[in-house]
Structure 1
Amino acid sequence: MPFIGQDWRGPGYIWSKSGTSTWDIRDRNIGVHLEPVPRSQVKKIIEAFLQQMQQKKCQTSYTNLTSAPVSKCSVKENMTWLQVSSTGSKECRGYTTFGELIRRLDLAGAAALPHRFPYILKIAELVVRHKMSTLSGMAQSHFFLLIEALLEQVLERGCEIRRMRSILNRLMFLLQRQSRRTSFSSKLSWFQCIETVRIWQSKLKRIEVTRRFDNRATLTDLPLELQYDIVAFLNEAEDVNAASKVCQTLHMICEQPSIWKNLCYKNFTQEQVDWAIAFMIRKIKRNQKVEAGSSSLDEDYFNINSASKWKEVHALLHKAYVSRELNYVDPLLHCQRCSVLFWKDTGHPCIESDDSNVIIDQLSPRKFISFFDD
């Protein structure tokens, strides 16, 4: 049976098999026979054509459905959303890595936006604490670019200095303690990472917060009620302790029992706080040898006593439980229908035409990190 070209209407050649190892080629318009082509060469041409078509099909699948690396997909990626997949399949080739997420969702660029900076900083903090040893070499290089982008914003704005210092110190600790068995990079890359983190730490030490020289009102010029409301708005104990060192007035406000009680109920649930209070009451009864049936120690004891008791409760809660996460202004969103991560302002082409049936979840930093659990 003759083999005709892709477009049967256009000019081309007619291929016909002759014998066992050759093909005859004849011009369909003028009927001239050309040189016979060996069967092995024809087989290679057909295999090359089929492989090219298969690659185009795979590239389309990667571009529209997955987050394939550049080595797997040569098509220019211009999407700002990312499909999360843990294993490969016929419909979804490849799998999603943390390095791909940083690159495709442009987390380094998102760190420059003020409303996304706290969210990205929390993600970086969780990665350094729990996921650093599991990152591949490429993911590690992308993550270091993210850390550099966050550091530039800290140096420019003069905010979140303490948290950035904690991230760099933890990162340096992980790099220094890694051994051959737990090494997550080559020796040359390890030396480069150590030197890079040292440079970052030196830059952070030399940061200078611009001092005010105007005569406008400052925090200490506000009424005590407003200063109390500002301190009560803080979410972390480290921030309250730092505020208590500013002046005597803020120190007096930070030592109020209601401030530390507010921290306990803001970062932990009611059941967790009740457990901590009951544990502290049992401990005090055991230390002071109070009778088991005595009611002299109860929750009211914590309400009227000094802030030291609520500090102990907060320290116990922080040790026993994971603190409640904050609500961020612009977090990453996750579509349960097509399993795609995206920013709110960019959106994604959902496979469900009816928007009412699509469930969109707001991802907290911890839930976001859980997508990459082993």
Structure 2
Amino acid sequence: MPFLGKDWRSPGWSWTKTEHGWKRIIFYGHDMDDIHREIEFPCGDGDEEFAQGVCQLASLKKRKDLYNHKTKSQFVFRDKWIYVQKDSTKERHGYCTLGEALNRLDFSSAVHDLRRFNYVAKLFQLIARSQLTCLSGAAQKNYFNILEKIVRKVVEEHYNPRLVKELLQDLSAALRKLTLHVGRCVLVGNVDVWLRRLDNILRWQRQLDDLHIPKQMCSGVSFSDLPLYTHNKILYNLSDACDIINLGQATPTLHVLSEDRTLWKRLCHFHFSDKPHLSRHSLLTKNDGGVDWKLMYFTLHKRYPVKEQYGDTLHFCRHCSVLFWKDCGHPCTANDPDGCLLPISPQHFIDLFRF
């Protein structure tokens, strides 16, 4: 006989005790209670339990539809973690989509955190290059709404415009290829919708091209007033070659400091110390034979990827198979939770959802 009741394998509901009995708790964002409206159904004495379930489902559906029309984001979940398990069992279904992960991990709020901004932008750049056709309709909407927040943050706060320009450039190139040369066979949704999104991307690119960062006038000590030792210390703490070159163009003194061979040697050591090509150049010794380390860096950069540094990254718990932001945490059952954590880079995040 087939099982016609509720799925016993579900993780269960959250309940709270009230003066009228137990009531189920539903988390669908902060504004859901404000737009809540109950729907009454006539019911007899024998159908009271059935009618109560129908009322709950109808009320939930109406609130979801109303919330979805009033906001540009998807539902905000209380728990900022998600199971990522590729193997399915009877007790737990392991399949998880990329769009669901973007929603459950609350990337919409992560954009406003400076520690996570670069991580989110880099991840969206990788999605634009290879994963656009894997997004569902709801995931597409969430992706472009978060992208709009990223562009708005750059325009208003002038934060890291170079990275966002590269993101929009890769996204526009991918959309042109998909809409003009591939078309309907791989895109989820109407092609006209994607063309309108492409127009929005071109508009965002013009906004970033016209962006002028105003010079802040201050009566105190400016950056140029700092001693050379401080300038050199700042350069040695930069891991991005483009940042070093751009900073070297500010003043003649910084230009001299940015061309230091030791600076570029340490940069090569940071990014490519594990590559076999560097063993022939005695990277860790002083006898480097007059190697042009700046040229060496860009030569190696063409062959190998550089290390990525972020203020905050996603972590994966190997014991629980849970993906989460480290600051948010998750209910881990391991004896040594810290020993089970694995930092997840943006590329590794994409690989987790390749099925």
TM-score between the two structures when normalised by the length of structure 2 = 0.72
Equivalent-residue separation in structure 1 for 2:130 and 2:240 (angstroms): 20
Per-residue deviation at 1:362? 2.3
- Cα 1:249–1:357 change in 2 (3 A) is closer
Q: Which runs of no fewer than 5 residues in structure 2 stay unpaired?
A: 15-59, 65-74
Correspondence for 1:85: 85
Contact 2:122 2:167 in 1 (8 A): no
2:249 is the counterpart of 1:260: no
Q: Which amino acid aligns with 1:301?
A: G
Correspondence for 2:224: 220
Q: Deviations over 1:80-112 (max 9, x none)?
A: 210013354422226111100111110111111
Correspondence for 1:339: 321
Equivalent-residue separation in structure 2 for 1:87 and 1:189 (angstroms): 35
Correspondence for 2:236: 232
Q: Deviations over 1:12-63 (max 9, x none)?
A: xxxxxxxxxxxxxxxxxxxxxxxxxxxxxxxxxx98xx53x234x3554699
Q: Which amino acid aligns with 2:306?
A: S
Equivalent-residue separation in structure 1 for 2:227 and 2:97 (angstroms): 51
- Cα 1:345–1:274 change in 2 (3 A) is closer
Shifted more, 102-111 versus 185-194: the winner is 185-194
- Cα 1:202–1:268 change in 2 (3 A) is same
Q: Deviations over 1:141-181 (max 9, x none)?
A: 32222222222222232121111111111111111122226
Equivalent-residue separation in structure 2 for 1:194 and 1:184 (angstroms): 13
Per-residue deviation at 1:299? 2.3
- Among 186, 198, 204, the alignment partner of 2:202 is 198
Contact 1:276 1:313 in 2 (8 A): no
Equivalent-residue separation in structure 1 for 2:141 and 2:281 (angstroms): 45
Alpha carbon RMSD of aligned pairs, Å? Answer: 3.0
Q: Which amino acid aligns with 1:98?
A: L
Equivalent-residue separation in structure 2 for 1:136 and 1:269 (angstroms): 40
Secondary structure, counterpart of 2:342 in structure 1: strand
Correspondence for 2:172: 172
Contact 1:276 1:317 in 2 (8 A): no
Equivalent-residue separation in structure 1 for 2:226 and 2:167 (angstroms): 33
Secondary structure, counterpart of 2:327 in structure 1: coil
Per-residue deviation at 1:197? 0.7
Correspondence for 1:115: 115
Equivalent-residue separation in structure 2 for 1:92 and 1:259 (angstroms): 52
- Cα 1:129–1:313 change in 2 (3 A) is farther
Q: Deviations over 1:350-369 (max 9, x none)?
A: 3x364569712222223222
Contact 1:61 1:92 in 2 (8 A): no
Q: Which amino acid aligns with 1:54?
A: K
Contact 1:136 1:184 in 2 (8 A): no
Correspondence for 2:290: 301
Equivalent-residue separation in structure 1 for 2:173 and 2:337 (angstroms): 48
Correspondence for 2:155: 155
- Cα 1:361–1:270 change in 2 (3 A) is closer
Q: Which runs of no fewer than 5 residues in structure 1 stay unpaired?
A: 1-45, 64-72, 279-297, 303-308
Q: Which has the higher contact order (CA 8 A, sep 6+)?
A: 2
Q: How does 1:93-132 map to 2 (within 5 A)?
A: 93=93, 95-132=95-132
Aligned residue pairs, count: 289
- Cα 1:316–1:80 change in 2 (3 A) is same
Equivalent-residue separation in structure 1 for 2:328 and 2:220 (angstroms): 41
Of the two, which has the highest radius of gyration?
Answer: 1
Equivalent-residue separation in structure 2 for 1:365 and 1:243 (angstroms): 27
Per-residue deviation at 1:258? 1.8
Contact 2:84 2:94 in 1 (8 A): no
Per-residue deviation at 1:250? 1.4
Q: How does 1:273-284 map to 2 (within 5 A)?
A: 274-275=278-279, 277=281
Identity over aligned pairs, percent = 28
Contact 1:334 1:361 in 2 (8 A): yes
Secondary structure, counterpart of 1:207 in structure 2: coil
Correspondence for 1:142: 142
Correspondence for 2:187: 184
4+ residue segments displaced more than 6 Å: 73-76
Per-residue deviation at 1:211? 1.7
Secondary structure, counterpart of 1:92 in structure 2: coil
Q: Which amino acid aligns with 2:268?
A: C
Q: How does 1:349-368 map to 2 (within 5 A)?
A: 349-350=331-332, 352=333, 354-355=335-336, 359-368=340-349
Correspondence for 2:6: 54
Correspondence for 2:304: 321
Per-residue deviation at 1:262? 2.1
Contact 1:80 1:104 in 2 (8 A): yes
Q: Deviations over 1:295-352 (max 9, x none)?
A: xxx72322xxxxxx222211221111121232x33322211122011223332233x3
Contact 1:333 1:362 in 2 (8 A): yes
